[in-house]
Structure 1
Amino acid sequence: MALGVLKPPVKSSLTENNFCDNSSTEEKEPQLKSYLILTMLTCFCPAYPVNIIALVYSIMSRNSYYNGDYDGSRRLGKNALYVAVASIIIGLLVITIICTVHFTTMNHWV
């Protein structure tokens, strides 16, 4: 049988300080930057495929963070930010072009 593989429970000695705060030895979690609110606001821009991709990156960043993959979360968060900014720029360009075309061809109404 595999009884030799099991380790007996280790009792701590009375000299060890088990009641101290061990947070100094543990790594602190980095701050979550998934830009979820920004990507939700970009969904109002008229660049729908791009802003949906930004939203997906943001949600993937949050999932990676909660699973403990902080590097992947940081990378996906940066991607979400870049795609969200691109979505805003594309949306502003589309709005500008539509307004320009609309108001320059409106002379036949006067």
Structure 2
Amino acid sequence: MALGVFNSQGKSSLSGSTSFDHSSIEEQEPPPPLRSYLCLTIFTCFCPAHPVNIVALVFSIMSRNSYYDGDYDGSRRLGKNALYVAIASIIIGLLVVAITCIVHFTTMDF
């Protein structure tokens, strides 16, 4: 999908060439940068908090789809949700690893 689509209101002349208004192209703002945090959410899939990781990944993919559909506010909102859920997933994963290590090493028989 092309993001740089412009609205050309071309008028064909007798010679077959089209002319369009260059001022309408220059007035359009470029889209804001994409913040879907896809790499972070893929990284969190390796943390042992699997239901939360999948939610973060789904939010990230939904953010990318909203961005490519032209809904930049929805994309920004879903990207923030993906970031917050990914951070929660990392924290939960670290807690699970820490609790597992503590339980494993304190219940060992010497």
Taking structure 2 as the reference length, what is the TM-score of the superposition? 0.79
Question: Which residue of the partner structure matches residue 39 of structure 2?
Answer: 37
CA, structure 1 residues 79+24, in 2 after alignment: closer, same or farther (shift >3 Å)? same
Task: Choose which of 21, 25, 28 in structure 2 pairs with 1:26.
Answer: 28
2:56/2:83 contact within 8 Å kept: yes
Task: Report the counterpart of residue 102 of structure 1 in structure 2.
Answer: 104
SS at match of 2:45: helix
Distance 1:28 1:68 in 2: 11
Unaligned runs of 5+ in 2: 1-8, 13-18
> Runs of 4+ in structure 1 displaced over 3 angstroms?
9-12, 17-24
Instruction: Give the equivalent residue in structure 2 for 1:79.
Output: 81
| Root-mean-square deviation (Å) | 2.3
Taking a change above 3 Å as real, the CA distance of residues 78 and 67 of structure 1, as seen in their structure-2 partners, is same
Distance 2:30 2:53 in 1: 32
How many residues are treated as equivalent by the alignment? 96
Deviation string 1:43-80 (CA, Å, 9 cap, x unpaired) is 00000000100000000000000000000000000000
Residue 21 of structure 1, CA deviation: 6.7
> Identity percentage over the alignment?
69
Structure 1: stretches of 5+ with no match in the other structure:
1-8
Aligned in 2, Cα 1:91/1:10: closer, same or farther, shift over 3 Å? Answer: closer
Relative to the length of structure 1, the TM-score reads 0.79
Q: Which amino acid is the alignment partner of residue 38 of structure 2? A: L
Q: Compute the displacement of 1:87 (Å).
A: 0.1
Which whole-Å deviations, capped at 9, do the CAs of 1:11-41 have from their partners, x for residues lacking one? 59xxxx9575755300210000000000000
Partner of 2:65, secondary structure, is helix
